[in-house]
Structures are given as structure tokens and as C-alpha cells.
Structure 1
């Protein structure tokens, strides 16, 4: 066995080299030979293993094996065999230099820890990509949990490496860290907060990948593209990316539009501000003229008859228009809005439809339209809403009404 370890040494001694020089050259020659063997074995193993996975993935119906190749799992696993060969032959190379052997062996053990972490990371990334293809999991923050696991894995690997280098038993080394646990908690404060937040976000189903959220504090208004341990990425509608701390989702207020997108309609809630001096009682001639508006002609006739019967039964003096019951132009316009919305093809008739008058303001009387469009797509929704208000603004003069605007101009004579 000694002659095997000293094959170059024996040759150099016969060539009149000193014993010390022969030992160093023998070690160097064996190291070069081992490196060549290791590189060749690594190359062959990597090629064979990767090709085997690629061929298996080509015939497999599952895409999991394709993702293994994509995330370089076979490539990383292939490094294990060269590492084991190196560890096996290191005692041969450093037979005459036990101090070197100990140092290099510790280095290889540390590399073994790093290689293990690479393999674990590759497998976890594969699982993440695979889970994203599953309908039940694709909107869950899987990346957050993988990041948490990898943080603990890297922390454990780091402590193991330090324990190997210092020669301190792993358990003793971990026990000693208890004294600086407060510092560790302070350093990883954001990570811990992000981990807790990501769990709460997932359990409470507050945000999913693909949700449209509005977060005014961070200037975010768009679709959630990624949820990680520390951040949530939102692609705004102008294609910019906003990054939000994960814990902000539970500490601050934001708006999630998922309820709208999963409902049967998208809400239209906007008001027209009507000038107050245009509101008036309608004379009989004015009422007759408005009967020409088909959407409310039957309503006007019914209401006019009811009002006439009431005034007649109560002997109301109609020489003054204020007396008794009367129709107003604002009331008829509000009824017209209601009828128009109920006949509009783009409005969901199964959801609430309402035209309501709000409390008067210094800018006029708000006449609010509250309804839901059947089409929830943003572009079409804006078109539908604009089409409705274009029509209503154009219809106002038929009721002798005006929109309030600054500076206020024009007036009606009652």
C-alpha cells in the first residue's frame, strides 16, 4: 500500500532527488492525477445522468421531470460521485502530510455541505415550478415557504461548516448560539415578519397571484405577479413594477378587486352634479312635451293621472303651481335614468340598478348612478360607463337642466 502511495516518490529518489523534494513532488503528482480523474468522472457522470433524465422526460407524461432538468437537479447530483472519489483518495495523496490532509478534508466536507444545499435548492425550485402548474396551488405564495425553508437550510449549513472548521461538535456549537439569539432575531427581523405575514396572507386568503390590488401608500395599482417571503411584486397597468413588503399587507389597508372580478358585474358609481337653480315644477305644457320621450311616456301618463286625481279630490287651487302635488324636471330625469339603465344592453339586470339623489352640495345636487356592467374588462367597462354618461349629459337639456361646472354660468328662469 505504501509503495502505491509512493510510486512517484520511489522514482524521484532513484533520480537523486532529496527526500523532502520527492515527498512534495509525489504529493503534487498524485493531486494532479486525482484532479484529472475527478474532472473526467464528473464530466462523464454529468453527461450520462443529464441525458438519462432528458430521455426519461421526453417519454414521461408528467412535466415534473422536465422541471428537474430545467432546475439542474441531475447536474448537481452528478457532482456527488466525484466528491466521494476525492474524499476516498485524499488520504493517499496526503499520506506524508497529515496536516494538509486534515485541512483539505475539512474543505471538502464544507463543499459537501454546499453541494447538498445546491441540490436541495434545485429540488425546491422544481417543486415551486411544478406547484405553479396545479390550478389549486398556482395562486398560493409557495415561493415564501421555499424561501423560509432555504433560510433555515443555509443557516444550518453555515453552522455545520463553522463547526467543521473549528472542530467544535455541532450540538455544542448550536448551544453556544443561544447567547446571541437576540442578535440573530434582530438581524432576521424582516425575514421573520415576512414569514409570519405570508402565512397570514395565505391562511386568510387575502391576496393571490393574479389578483388586482390597489395600494395607495406604495403607489401600486395592478396585478400581483409574485408573492415571496419579503416582498409582493405588483405589475401596474402602466407596466411598471411596484414592490411591497409582505408584512404591509397585514399592517396597512389595501383594496383587492378579486370580489369584483369573481362577481357577475363591475360596479358603476358616478354622479352628475345638477345646477340647483334649474330644478322646477313642470307646467302642463312642459309635461305634454316630455311625453314624447318613449322610455318614460307611460310613467308620465300614470303619474299625471294620479296627481290630477289627488289635486281634484283635495280641491287644490292650481292657479299657483306650488300648491298640491306636481311633477319636477329633476324627478322625471331621475326616472328617465332609471329606465334608461334598465333598458341598456350592457347593464346586468340581476344586480342593483339605482339612480339616487344625494345631499345638495356647493357644487350642485349630486344625481348618482349606481349599477353594474355585465362586461368586467377594464377597457370595455370604461367604454360602457362613458357611453352611459355621454347619453345622460346630452339628455339633460330636454329636461331643462344643466351640469354644474366652475365658473358657473347661465341660469334658468322659473
Structure 2
């Protein structure tokens, strides 16, 4: 009866102290937590962590007070003490896991507020795994009343099996450390990895996987280790630069390329952005032609020996002037219209510029307006866009041929 009463008193004392400690922590700590200047202190004093601290008290009371129970056999006292120590190890492990969870939530809050750029989720997951493994070893060693070193020596013989079982986890953790330490990838980055069909924003970086929300709102899950073994494109540099590149050709029909007449030059001189180019170019051409006529008067009558303005060269100059005057393009970045090698699709004129925004909708609107204008103004220079003939084009050509035959 004394033994039973002692055990009952010990259990009641343990849980009474747990309630007292819990109430004290939850009542006192929140009063001064908000006044703490250090953010990490407020994180460590979270209510969930305080509750986990109170849960350690019962097992501590039992393992320290079991010796005071009268007439309790030595074997029973040892078993109860070992079980209490095992429970204490479990509660300490849960406390450490709660601390790591709180750190992870604080980091995610900073990510949302754009005050931090690196996710600690993979480190937290690995830390929780290691804590639970160590706690498991301590609990088993305590319950069988053996030294933890004996279990660790036994695990050494199983290292090859563990390396095989946790191969992906080890590779992923190593890759996660390299990604974070070298600042290669962050949550929120635009990632493009064609090997796995990923093209979107990184929404989660865990120990084993990285989740990407594609632009069609599907989710692609990538093993973390693949981000170090395979190549991928990170568009963060584009976002940070503040300018997104336009790189698109405008294919011009080569058969429409020719020299400009005087009347056309006079008409094109009325275009404000093109007038400075025409004035300087005409002066340069006139000086060259006069010099050539002086040196070779007998050959000055041949038009091929004199320099003239071409419609495609003038149009290219207009494109450059138009891009320079465009209010939505970055002037501190590369800005040009360049002639590319002619192909069976015509003579490409590539527009290479950077918008002053990286937002997708605004970027597409700016790009569309630029090419709409440059395409619509082509006839003013006597140029045509190259287009593969369609069935309708064939029918129109046949009808024109029939009309011409009837007229003849």
C-alpha cells in the first residue's frame, strides 16, 4: 500500500508540476515576448515551444523521484527510471523539432515579406531526421539498459545498407547545401528545366524535392539532386535587371529590296525620327559621289558605281530610331535592329531590345505594339513581309493570269 501510494503521489506530483509550469510559461512569457528586440528570441519563445517544455516535466519528476517510493523493488525502480529517461529523450526530441518548425515558419514569413531569399526547409527536415534518429538510439539503449555506443557500433556495420537506402536523401541534401550556399536557386525564382517539363516559379524547396508551379498551374516535382546533375535556366537575373529581352526577327521579302527614288526620299524625310539619318546619309553619299565623279568622270554615269539609299537600309535606320524613341524600352541596355543572313524565308531583320518591365503581360503588350507598328509601316518603304504562298494566293494569281490572257 505504501508503494502504491508513493507511485500515485509521484504521478500526481509529476502532472501537477506540468500544469503549473505550463500555466506559468504561457502566462508570464507572452507579456514580455513582444518587447524583445531580437527576432530569434521571439521565435524561441513561441507558445508551442513553451508547451513542449512543460511536457518534459513529468518524466523528469518520475526519473528523479522514483528512488523515494518506499519498498519499490530494485528491478521495478530501474525499469520505471529507464522508461522515464526514454520518455524524456522523446520529449526533448519533440522540443527540438518544435524549435526547428518555428524557425522554418519564421523563414517562410520572411520569404513572403521578401526580407529573406533562402529557404531553410531542407535543413530543418534533415535536422529533424537526425534528432529523431539520435533520440531513437538513446531510447532503445535506455530501455535495454545498454550504452548507446554499442548500438552505434552496430550501426557502423549497417552503414553500407543505410547508404543504399538513403542514397537519394544524401544526394539531395548535398545538392540543397550547394544550391543554398552558392545562391543558385531560391523560392520564387522562375526556373526552366526542359528535361523534366518544368517552366514556372519555384514554390517549395524541401530536402528531397523542389516543387515548381508551371505557367499552366500544373505542379512539377523535381528531385533536388537533379538540379546539380542536370542543367536548368534560372530567370532571376532577368527579373533583377528590370528589363526583359525582345529578340524576334521580321522576315522581309527579298524581291522587294531596291534603291529609293528621289520622290520617295523626299516623302520619307517627313518622318521626324528618320530625318536626321537621311540628312547625314545623303550628305555622306553626295560627298562620295562627287569625289568619285571627279576621279573617274567617264564612269560616273553608271548607276552601279555610285552610292544610293536602299529601302531596306533606310527601314533599318527607321527601326533603330523608332526603338530609341520608344518610351517603354531600356536605353541603358542593348538596343538595335540588325540585318541577318538571308534564308529561304526572306531577309530577317531582328529586333533586339529590352523592355523596362519584366511583367509578362506588359512585356507581351509592348512587344506586340512594336511589331504591329513595324509591320504596318513596311509599305511606306516599298517593302513586303515574306509569307509562304497559301491556296488563296494561288487562286488570286491564276485569276489575274486568266484576266491578262483574255485582255491579250
Q: Normalising by the residue count of structure 2, what TM-score does the alignment of the two structures yield?
A: 0.83
Equivalences, count: 388
Instruction: Tell whether the 8 Å contact from 1:144 to 1:195 is kept in structure 2 after alignment.
Output: yes
> Displacement, 1:341?
0.6
Residue in 2 that maps onto 1:337: 319
Moved more, 259-268 or 59-68: 59-68
Cα offset for 1:154?
1.9
Provide Cα deviations, 1:135-187, integer angstroms capped at 9, x if missing partner.
Answer: 99821242323333332222222222222233332112211222111111111
**Counterpart Cα distance in 2 of 1:362 and 1:97:** 98
Correspondence 1:293-332 to 2 at 5 A: 293-312=271-290, 313=293, 314-315=296-297, 322-332=304-314
Q: Structure 1 pair 403/164, CA: closer, same or farther in 2 (3 Å)?
A: same
Larger deviation: 296-305 or 355-364?
296-305
Are the counterparts in 2 of residues 271 and 367 from structure 1 also a CA contact under 8 Å?
yes
Alpha-carbon distance in structure 2 between the residues aligned to 1:61 and 1:204:
30
- Cα-Cα RMSD: 3.1
Question: What does 1:267-282 align with in structure 2 at a 5 Å threshold?
Answer: 267-282=245-260
Q: Where do 1:89-108 residues align within 5 Å?
A: 89-90=65-66, 95=71, 99-108=75-84
Q: Is the counterpart of residue 261 in structure 1 residue 244 in structure 2? A: no
In the alignment, is the contact (CA less than 8 A) between 2:82 and 2:145 conserved in 1?
no
Inter-CA distance 154–284: structure 2 relative to 1 (3 Å threshold)? same
Q: Choose the corresponding residue for 1:389, options 371, 378, 381.
A: 371
Q: 2: distance between equivalents of 1:226 and 1:240?
A: 14
Partner of 2:403: none
Aligned to 1:201: 179
Deviates more, 1:94-103 or 1:350-359: 94-103
Question: In the TM superposition, what whole-angstrom CA distance separates every residue of 1:54-96 from its partner, at most 9, and x where no partner exists?
Answer: 2122333444454335461100001122212222444566955
User: How far does residue 100 in structure 1 lie from its aligned partner after superposition?
Assistant: 4.8
Separation of aligned partners in 1, 2:375 and 2:30: 65
- Report the equivalent of 1:248: 226
Contact 1:68–1:123 (8 Å) recurs in 2: yes
Evaluate the alpha carbon distance shift between residue 197 and residue 271 of structure 1 in structure 2; reply closer, same or farther with a 3 A threshold: same
Aligned to 1:85: 61
1:174-226 superposed Cα distances (whole Å, 9 cap, x missing partner): 11222111111111111211121122212322122333222222333333333
Aligned-partner Cα distance in 2 for 1:331–1:95 = 108
Q: Is the 8 A contact 1:54 1:66 kept in 2?
A: no
Checking the alignment, whether the CA contact within 8 Å between 2:256 and 2:383 is kept in structure 1 is yes
Give the alignment partner of residue 333 of structure 2, picking from 346, 351, 354.
Answer: 351
Identify which of 71, 90, 97 aligns with 1:121: 97
| Aligned counterpart, 2:208 | 230
From the superposition, tell whether residues 361 and 35 of structure 1 become closer, same or farther in structure 2 (CA, over 3 Å): farther
Shift of 1:339: 0.4
Flag structure 1 segments of 5+ consecutive residues without an equivalent.
Answer: 1-5, 8-25
Residues 292-341 of structure 1 deviation map (CA, whole Å, 9 limit, x = unaligned): 22221232233234334433424486877545322221111111000001
Are 1:111 and 2:95 an aligned pair? no
| Aligned match of 1:152 | 130
Deviation at 1:102, TM superposition (A): 4.2
Tell me the distance in 2 between the aligned counterparts of 1:244 and 1:220.
Answer: 8
Structure 1 residues 155 and 374: CA distance shift in structure 2, 3 A: same
TM-score computed with the length of structure 1 as normaliser? 0.82
SS at match of 2:264: helix
CA contact (8 A) 1:141 1:198 kept: no
Q: Does the C-alpha gap of structure 1 residues 53 and 284 become closer, same or farther in structure 2, counting only changes over 3 Å?
A: same
Mark the runs of 5 or more structure 2 residues left unpaired by the alignment: 397-408
Q: Specify the alignment match of 1:183 in structure 2.
A: 161
Tell me the distance in 2 between the aligned counterparts of 1:46 and 1:264.
52
- Cα distance in structure 2, aligned partners of 1:299 and 1:90: 98
